């Protein structure tokens, strides 16, 4: 299997899905696994997995797709990576992504664009674009990404595969390079929901290294169901003027079909939709500006050399090491945290986040699952949106919601647009109901 994927990766190198590949290490792992008697096989025995290049894998480079970490080598394993290895998985390489996981198109990588294998003139989505294409193009069996505001679910949608973001804290963040810590999740890409369930069982669960990890071991299972579900959708998400009409029509007729099958699908009011994107970008940039302050060229990161005064040395390293989008977010985050504006922006956004979470909790008192589009549009062409940061941010409206509320969400492919590109929809459940989420998603695929 490893040889097969090495060959596939070589054949499809132009997709640029990987920043680094680990052929020799993967073959060595495979040989060790081959020597094990069958009674010692673990659940992921020989499963070939790629990881987003924001996860630490000891002894291998981790760049966050940034010049800032270009020559940095991991000195420990992320918990999710350690648990993959402990369960017999083989790590084939590190995937390209937007720099420090900031972006929705993978156009912000210091290592170049990743091409969508369904149409190479189009973006794969972001920020985990490389991890999505690695699965889409058959370069591995499954992959890990990170999802702070949709970075697993949106590229999965653009590439026609399944992308899952767990309940916040379900998978340890230890060893995941931080973007916005109270939003960050390790997520999983696969060809189907069952694969995600198997991987989740291996990597989820309490971790003493992550104080926000959920204090329980996770044990989920996918079973066939004939249950009639109570589905809901937020009316304004479907009525949003920017939603592509074909996506709207497809979802509306799908909701009807679910009703014909005996489920209920209820449109519910939600008056906070306009606040979702601003709240997300105020809070995540604030957290990012703090998290990224460690990259000063002294303790970590790019060092441009020269003998400068300390302030100038930091300025030079950060100016040269960070890309444009990362700088934009550090400035925005520093602004909303600054003394004069803290109450008006950061505090206000924290309060709105609480309102969104409370409202969401109430929804699940009456419904099993919440259905939602993934993106207002399908994968767009390179350059089409990269000049307009605000319109790129606004398109995150459907995915940042789950991260604001901390609930689990999954995007599943279902339809093909007349432009030839895949799209699907998201399923959300209440916090910590990850197994229920995966079972409903499996039923709907």
List interacting residues with ligand GLN (CB under 6 A): 101-104, 127, 146-151, 179, 284, 396
Instruction: Determine which one of 104, 127, 143, 431 is catalytic.
Output: 127
Residue with tokens 């004939």: 226
* Selected catalytic residue, list 151, 289, 375, 431: 151
- Cα-to-chain-centroid distance, residue 233: 22
Query: Which residue, 29 or 116, is less far from ligand GLN as judged by CB?
Result: 116
Say which of 12, 52, 165, 430 is annotated catalytic: 52
Taking the complex as a whole, how short is the minimal distance between the CB of residue 148 and ligand GLN, in angstroms? Answer: 4
Under 8 Å CB-to-CB from 124, ≥6 apart: which residues?
A: 105, 106, 114, 115, 116, 117, 130, 132, 133, 136, 155, 158, 159, 379
In the bound complex, what is the minimum distance in angstroms from residue 328's beta carbon to ligand GLN? 11
Q: How far is the CB of 13 from ligand GLN (least distance, A)?
A: 25
Q: Beta strand 18-21 with 90-95: parallel, antiparallel or unpaired? A: antiparallel
Given the complex with ligand GLN, which of 47 and 372 has the nearer CB atom? Answer: 372
Is 66 noted as a catalytic residue in this protein? no
90 vs 102 by CB, closer to ligand GLN? 102
Say if residues 119 and 421 touch (Cβ distance below 8 Å): yes
Rounded to a whole number of angstroms, the minimum distance from the CB of residue 182 to ligand GLN is: 13
Give the Å distances, CA to CA, from 413 to 84, 232, 233, 441, 445. Answer: 25, 19, 18, 10, 8
Is 418 catalytic? The answer is no
- What does 153-207 look like in DSSP terms, one character per residue? HHHHHHHTSEEEEPSTTSB--TTBPPSSTTT--EEEEESSHHHHHHHHHHHBS--
Closest chain position to ligand GLN (CB): 151
Q: Give the strand order in the sheet containing 142-146.
A: 18-21, 90-95, 48-52, 142-146, 186-190, 162-165, 409-416, 422-428, 369-372, 230-234, 264-268
Nearest to 60 by CA among 47, 78, 42: 78
Rank residues 340 and 387 by Cβ distance to ligand GLN and give the closer one: 387
Q: Which residue has the tokens 């930091």?
A: 314
**Residue 327 annotated as catalytic:** no
Minimum distance between the CB of residue 314 and ligand GLN, rounded to whole angstroms?
25
CB of 55 to ligand GLN, least distance (A): 13
Residues 6+ apart with CB under 8 A from 275: 352, 356
Catalytic residue list = 52, 127, 151
């Amino acid at each position: 299997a490893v040889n097969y994927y090495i060959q596939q990766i070589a054949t499809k190198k132009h997709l640029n899905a990987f920043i680094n590949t680990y052929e020799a290490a993967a073959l060595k792992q495979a040989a060790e696994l081959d020597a094990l008697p069958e009674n010692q096989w673990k659940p992921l025995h020989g499963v070939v997995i790629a990881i987003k290049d924001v996860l630490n894998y000891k002894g291998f480079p981790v760049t966050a797709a940034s010049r800032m970490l270009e020559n940095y080598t991991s000195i420990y394993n992320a918990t999710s990576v350690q648990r993959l290895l402990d369960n017999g998985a083989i790590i084939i390489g590190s995937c390209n992504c937007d720099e420090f996981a900031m972006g929705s198109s993978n156009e912000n990588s210091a290592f170049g664009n990743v091409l969508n294998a369904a149409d190479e003139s189009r973006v794969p989505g972001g920020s985990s674009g490389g991890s999505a294409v690695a699965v889409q193009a058959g370069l591995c069996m499954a992959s890990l990404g990170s999802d702070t505001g949709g970075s697993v679910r949106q590229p999965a949608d653009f590439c026609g595969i399944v992308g899952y973001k767990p309940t916040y804290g379900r998978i340890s963040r230890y060893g995941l390079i931080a973007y916005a810590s109270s939003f960050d999740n390790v997520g999983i890409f696969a060809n189907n929901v069952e694969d995600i369930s198997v991987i989740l069982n291996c990597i989820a669960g309490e971790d003493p290294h992550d104080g926000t990890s959920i204090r329980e071991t996770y044990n989920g299972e996918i079973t066939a169901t004939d249950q009639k579900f109570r589905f809901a959708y937020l009316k304004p998400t479907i009525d949003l003027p920017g939603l592509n009409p074909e996506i709207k029509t497809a979802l509306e007729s799908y909701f009807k079909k679910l009703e014909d099958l005996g489920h209920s699908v209820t449109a519910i009011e939600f008056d906070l939709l306009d606040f979702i994107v601003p709240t997300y970008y105020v809070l995540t940039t604030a957290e990012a500006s703090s998290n990224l302050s460690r990259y000063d060229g002294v303790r970590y990161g790019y060092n441009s050399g020269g003998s400068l005064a300390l302030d100038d040395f930091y300025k030079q390293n950060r100016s040269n090491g960070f890309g444009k989008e990362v700088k934009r977010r550090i400035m925005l985050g520093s602004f909303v945290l600054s003394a004069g504006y803290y109450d008006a922006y950061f505090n206000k956004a924290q309060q709105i986040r609480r309102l969104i979470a409370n409202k969401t909790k109430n929804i699940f008192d009456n419904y099993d699952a919440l259905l939602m589009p993934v993106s207002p549009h399908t994968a767009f062409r390179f350059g089409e949106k990269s000049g307009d940061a605000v319109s790129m941010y606004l398109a995150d409206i459907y995915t940042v919601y789950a991260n604001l509320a901390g609930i689990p969400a999954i995007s599943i492919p279902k339809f093909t647009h007349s432009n030839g590109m895949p799209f699907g929809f998201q399923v959300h459940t209440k916090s910590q109901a990850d197994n229920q989420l995966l079972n409903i998603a499996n039923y709907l695929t």
